Amino acid sequence: MTKLLFVCLGNICRSPAAENIMNHLVAQAGMSDRIECDSAGTASYHTGNPPDRRMRAAAANRDLPMVGKARQFTKADFTAFDLILAMDRENYHNILALVGSAAPSENLQEQYRDKVKLMCDFATEHLDKEVPDPYYGGAEGFDYVIDLLLDACSGLLLELETTAAKKV
């Protein structure tokens, strides 16, 4: 089982969208028994809240389910997940800032650091380096994030399928 964790700031827009899109793509690919997804935020602003209503609306326009409740990223997530996907560089650096306190030895620090990637590294059609935060914008920002995450999640799934095929 490969465990993926998608991380943004508040865990109500980008990371739950990525989690739900990835779950949708994984189910379509018949890989739900091999890939498990979750999401978290680097801040605790929205802990326990569902995804933002505007993100749910943008996802619904594409027949994508949007479920879950916000939670904060914890040090335990380093060991619980195989890959941690940050939505932007600030999230990436905030996650890595916890590596030192989560891993007392240098070998463990490097192991944990290698698990953290930027989500847009997997995009194949969009040139964005970060998933923009649509929280303070209009509906078009949420629509764009869905499009970008569909691209990046598709690329990530392809990468996971390729890696799994090499192991067989």
Residues forming the active site: 8, 14, 133
Query: Half-sphere exposure of residue 122, counting CA atoms within 13 Å on the CB side?
Result: 27
Secondary structure letter of residue 35 according to DSSP:
E
CA distances from 84 to 60, 87, 88, 136, 138 (A): 26, 10, 12, 25, 28
Measured on CA atoms in the order 10, 80, 28, 125, is the torsion positive or negative?
positive
Q: Indicate the burial class of 117 (C-beta count within 10 angstroms; 0-12, 13-18, 19 or more).
A: middle
Strand ranges inside the chain, DSSP E: 2-8, 35-41, 83-86, 116-118
In whole angstroms, what is the distance from residue 77 CA to residue 80 CA?
5
β-partners of residue 7 are 40, 86
